[in-house]
Amino acid sequence: MKLTSNQIEKKLEEVLDPELNISIVDLGLVYKVKIEKAKVKILMTLTTIGCPLISLIETEVKSKLKELGFLEKNIIVELTFDPPWSMEKMSEKAKALLGIN
């Protein structure tokens, strides 16, 4: 079975931000999912530059994608701050959970 970017994003919804306990997808931290042969590249950001939780989030991303059959060496998590994250990137679900209108 060939996986799609949408299927991978759906799996990434299971990765929760350690501080907010909300999906990194709903927070708008995942910018792009790219699949090339047996490799998957995740372009993502954090809510703040210098966030010390990147290693925890990256470990969880890799763990969830291994459940889909990817080898850890074929999972690339690239961090970017361009464009910077803002609350506008959050889903309505995330905003509701945080009490933001």
Q: Kindly list the domain boundaries of the chain, sorted by start residue.
A: 5-81
What pLDDT shows up at residue 1? 59
Asked if 44 and 79 count as a contact pair (C-beta separation under 8 A), the reply is yes
Quick: pLDDT tens for 4-62.
999 999 999 999 999 999 999 999 999 999 999 889 999 999 998 888 889 999 999 99
Name the pTM for this structure.
0.92
Quick: pLDDT tens for 52-89.
889 999 999 999 999 999 999 999 999 999 999 999 99
What pLDDT shows up at residue 51? 84
| H or E element at residue 13 | none
* Amino acid letter for position 61: V
Q: What is the CATH number of domain 5-81?
A: 3.30.300.130
